[in-house]
Structure formats: C-alpha cells, structure tokens
C-alpha cells in the first residue's frame, strides 16, 4: 500500500524560510527522504504540497480510499482549518501530524491544533526527521493486525 506525505502552505519554501526555525533541508530533500524510507519499509510514498486549503482537501478526498496512512504537516492550517480536519476524518487510514518546529515553544496561537485529537500520533520539534518517524510509525501500524 501507499503512504502519503502531505505538506501545507509555505512548506514549499523549506530551506529558505526562517532556517533558524525550520532548518536547511528543502521540500525536495524531505520528499527524497520520504521515498528512501518508504523503499526501506516496502511502501510506495506519494508526496503532495499545496499553499491552498481547498487543494489539500481535494487531495485528501482523492486518496481517501487507497491510502495506507497519511503524514501531514498542514503548516498554518493546522491552527485554523476545520475543513482539513473534516477531510482527514473521512479517511479510514490513520494519519500522523508532523511539525518540524516545536510549536509548543512558540506563539500561543500555534499551541492549538484542529488535527491532534484525531491523529494517531503527533510529532513536533524533531526537524525534518519527524517525517521519517511518522512513516516508520505508520508502517508499523499497517503491519499490526
């Protein structure tokens, strides 16, 4: 089965934007890491990034029936989007919420997530390695009957 890695707004600027917070790796680096980890785990990995809330909702709906698990960094939509929450709730497969930075050490408005209580796991503050941890967790869950 295929695992999906979804990235939200501004994550296309990874490596350029606020590198002291988000590090030097680019989105292409993250997607290459995801493909490598997927290979190792025996899963295909499909990646998608959009700056648009509706495009993320459309993508979640599109993969709803054939995803083995979703890794999602919804960026700022994490803190605002009931629509992305509802879209994820329509997916049978579990999702892991990832944040590169430790959102709890930042502004108060980043402390609340519309996704966390529906996520099977939440990984914050591990840098881009968080995507790898999330994929490994989803693969382990997929292997558990």
Q: What is the DSSP string of 58-108?
A: HHHHHHTTTEEEEEEE-GGGGGT-HHHHHHHHT-SS-EEEEESS-GGGS-G
Nearest distance, CB of residue 144 and ligand DQA, angstroms? 27
Q: Is 73 known as a binding-site position?
A: yes
Active site residue 99: yes
Bridge partners for 6 per DSSP = 48, 72
- Residue 4 assigned to a binding site: no
Annotation-wise, does 67 bind a ligand?
A: no
* Cβ 5 vs Cβ 48: under 8 Å: yes
Q: Please give the Cα distance from 48 to 102 (Å, whole number).
A: 23
Of residues 73 and 81, the one with the C-beta less far from ligand DQA: 73
Nearest to ligand DQA of 100, 134 (CB atom): 100
Smallest gap from residue 65 Cβ to ligand DQA (A): 27
CB of 8 to ligand DQA, least distance (A): 7
Asked if 114 is an active-site residue, the reply is no
DSSP-based three-state secondary structure for 7: strand
Q: Which residues are catalytic?
A: 22, 99
> Which residues carry a binding-site annotation for substrate?
73, 79, 86, 100-101, 110
């Amino acid at each position: 089965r295929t695992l999906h890695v979804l990235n939200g707004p501004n994550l296309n600027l990874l490596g350029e934007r606020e590198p002291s917070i988000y590090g030097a790796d680019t989105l292409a680096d993250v997607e290459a890491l995801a493909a490598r980890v997927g290979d190792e785990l025996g899963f295909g990995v499909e990646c998608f990034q959009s700056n648009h809330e509706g495009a993320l909702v459309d993508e979640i709906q599109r993969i709803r029936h054939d995803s083995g698990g979703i890794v999602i960094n919804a960026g700022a939509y994490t803190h605002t989007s009931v629509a992305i929450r509802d879209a994820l709730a329509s997916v049978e497969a579990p999702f892991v919420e990832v944040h590169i930075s430790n959102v709890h050490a930042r502004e108060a408005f980043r402390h609340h997530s519309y996704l966390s209580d529906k996520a099977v796991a939440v990984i914050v503050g591990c840098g881009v390695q968080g995507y790898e941890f999330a994929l490994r967790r989803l693969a382990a869950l997929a292997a558990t009957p």
